[in-house]
Amino acid sequence: MPDLLLIAVIAGILAIDDRAGWQSLLGEPVFSSLIVGWVAGAMAPALQVGVVLQLAWLSIGAARGTRRPHTLLGGIVGAASTALVLAHDSDARTTVVVAAGVLAGLVAAELGAVALRATGTLRERWLGTFTLPSNTHDASRKLSMTVIGAALLVGIVDFVLVLLMIPLGERMVRLFEARLGVGGGAGAAWWLVAVSAIGVAAVVRAFGTRVLVRFLAAGAAAVLLVGWLR
Amino acid sequence: MSARLAPSDLRRVLARLLFVQATLNRRGMQNIGVLHALDAAAAKLSREPLALLSRHNDHFNTNPNAVPIVVGSVLRIEEDGLATAPVPIARFKQAACSALAATGDVLMVGGLKPLALTLAVVSAIYSFSTGLVAIVVLYNAALLAGRAWGLRFGYARGWGIVDAFTGPRVQRVVMLARILAAFAGGAMVAVMARRTFAASWADVALLAAATLAAGIAIKRGLNVARIAIVLFPLVVLVAMLVK
């Protein structure tokens, strides 16, 4: 429970940074999973979840006609579900737990996007009707209070969402770990490879242009050359 | 009439600009955040700070990293007075925001962010936590330094910022960021391919097929992350049947 509360507080702070602050990148799954894994006591598997989720969401921009998933929420829920299960059950199969954690993260991100839509409507009603008071002192105070209030709202919404979703994610991970047999475990490993491929496709698509493709190829060749020389 | 702004005033404006996205809304976009930042210096720029704020209480939308440049130039223009203004300040802000939004988006979303994230993924694949910390520190140092420089630059140039950001020099910087991001992206793809190759040939074939399928899905504008959720039970079922 203290771990869960601490992770929810971290999620709130990261949400303020990501959607109200200067977007330091700490809210991206690859970084947030490192923090969450460290707090929960299972950094390596949490980081594995973070990497796969980052690759899944690396495609730049939202898909046509869909809302962008709430990646911050997904990253934290996925990494926390995995780390909390593995921190308390050392016999659990890491690959299955990581795959279930990634799935929990993907689902949480989609649900989070729906929740944000609802709170976003309320926020719009509040901020969309902003007017400046007719007195300088009141105007300064109202501006400061509006900015602080809006930032806090972002943090509180994500704090609550994480608090609600981590227990569900954890339960889902435990369920998969218990129910998936040997074949299921192999399927989970295949699925992780397939999800990671989204990141590869996104990079190739983003930089596979006439001008940039040679630099993409140079980067790949450099890594292969260094690997071959070693 | 008005005193020049001290560095401490600019620092206060910059601190408030870090939270310009907090009050993002559909009607005025970043207007409340920008007013909040201008409020930190309004009393020093004008005898009627409220009138100054009211002049800028309109639609404002650009890349968040470019906001300090526009706000810096607005501070300079207000300091010099609007009597000799070549164009209405609202039109100037609109032009500056549009020009900087395009450049800022390509630089950040198409260059620096993918560069940092692909390098972070490579570090994480090798469980190199120090690398991850170094990336986040460097990225934020660059981001904050860039915003501080932008505010000072805008304050120094005033009306001249649009010319400065539509020249070939800026385009070269943007291109360099894109090139570095492409190089890092290529490195990431090779690292993943090598690790999959070390596991098994079947995994290499799976990675190649999944990349092709994901590429087609992204090209068609489909939500690949949602497809991945649906695929989970399917892949597990197939594996259980095979094994």
Pick from B181, B215, B231: which residue ends a domain?
B181
B151 within a domain of the structure (yes/no): yes
Residues whose CB is less than 8 angstroms from the CB of residue A180 and which lie 6 or more positions away in sequence, other chains included: A96, A187, A188, B236
The closest of A56, A55, A36 to A46, measured between CA atoms, is: A36
Bigger pLDDT: B230 vs A66:
B230
Mean pLDDT throughout B91-99?
92
The number of domains in chain B is: 2
Do B132 and B240 fall into the same domain? Answer: no
Query: Above 50 in pLDDT, residue B220?
Result: yes
Quote the mean pLDDT of chain A.
92
Do B103 and B31 fall into the same domain? Answer: yes
Residue A132, token pair as written in the block: 């400046």
Inter-chain residue contact A25 with B188, CB threshold 8 Å: no
Residue A64, token pair as written in the block: 């046509």
Query: Above 90 in pLDDT, residue B166?
Result: no
pLDDT of amino acid B164: 80
Quote the mean pLDDT of chain B.
92
CA of B113: which chain A residue's CA is closest?
A: A25
Q: Give the highest mean pLDDT range of B99-103, B141-145, B159-163, B194-198.
A: B141-145
Cα separation, B193 vs B190, in Å, equals 5
Mean pLDDT throughout B44-48?
90
Pick from B181, B212, B230: which residue ends a domain?
B181
B192 within a domain of the structure (yes/no): no
- Residue of B236, B238, B242 to mutate when probing chain A, most A C-beta within 10 A: B236
Query: Above 70 in pLDDT, residue B223?
Result: yes
* Amino acid (1-letter code) at residue B32: I
Evaluate whether A203 touches B173 at the Cβ level (below 8 Å).
no
Quick: pLDDT tens for A150-182: 999 999 999 999 999 999 999 999 999 998 877
Do B95 and B30 fall into the same domain? Answer: yes
Residues of chain A with C-beta less than 8 angstroms from the C-beta of B188: 199-200, 203, 219
B165 falls in which pLDDT band (50, 70, 90)?
A: confident
CB contacts < 8 A, A to B, total 298
Query: Above 60 in pLDDT, residue B233?
Result: yes
Which residue among B125, B193, B228 places its CB closest to the CB of A106? B228
CA of B131: which chain A residue's CA is closest?
A: A31
Query: Above 50 in pLDDT, residue A100?
Result: yes
Pick from B149, B181, B213: which residue ends a domain?
B181
Do B91 and B205 fall into the same domain? Answer: no
Do B203 and B175 fall into the same domain? Answer: no
Taking the CA of residue A4 and the nearest CA in chain B, the distance in Å comes to 23
Query: Above 70 in pLDDT, residue B3?
Result: no
Mean pLDDT throughout B2-7?
76
B171 within a domain of the structure (yes/no): yes
The closest of B28, B35, B64, B72 to B52, measured between CA atoms, is: B35
B66 within a domain of the structure (yes/no): yes
B1 falls in which pLDDT band (50, 70, 90)?
A: very low
Phi, psi (deg, nearest 5) at residue A22: -95, 10
Query: Above 90 in pLDDT, residue A91?
Result: no
B137 within a domain of the structure (yes/no): yes
Do B16 and B105 fall into the same domain? Answer: yes
DSSP letter for B29, please: B
B193 within a domain of the structure (yes/no): no
What's the domain range around B68? Answer: 1-181
Do B175 and B227 fall into the same domain? Answer: no
Residues of chain A with C-beta less than 8 angstroms from the C-beta of B186: 203, 207, 215-223
- What SS3 class is residue A128? coil
Which residue among B19, B178, B235 places its CB closest to the CB of A194? B235
Do B211 and B116 fall into the same domain? Answer: no
CB atoms closer than 10 angstroms to residue B162: 18
Query: Above 80 in pLDDT, residue B12?
Result: yes
Do B219 and B114 fall into the same domain? Answer: no
Do B168 and B206 fall into the same domain? Answer: no
Do B117 and B162 fall into the same domain? Answer: yes
pLDDT of amino acid B188: 97
CB atoms closer than 10 angstroms to residue B182: 28
A5 falls in which pLDDT band (50, 70, 90)?
A: very high
Query: Above 90 in pLDDT, residue B53?
Result: yes
DSSP letter for B111, please: I
Do B1 and B112 fall into the same domain? Answer: yes
ipTM entry = 0.92
Residues of chain A with C-beta less than 8 angstroms from the C-beta of B33: 147
pLDDT of amino acid A60: 53
B177 within a domain of the structure (yes/no): yes
Mean pLDDT throughout B128-132?
94
B70 within a domain of the structure (yes/no): yes
User: Which B residues in the span 26-65 are in contact with A, Cβ-Cβ below 8 Å?
Assistant: 26-28, 31-33, 35-36, 39, 43, 49-50, 53-54, 57, 64
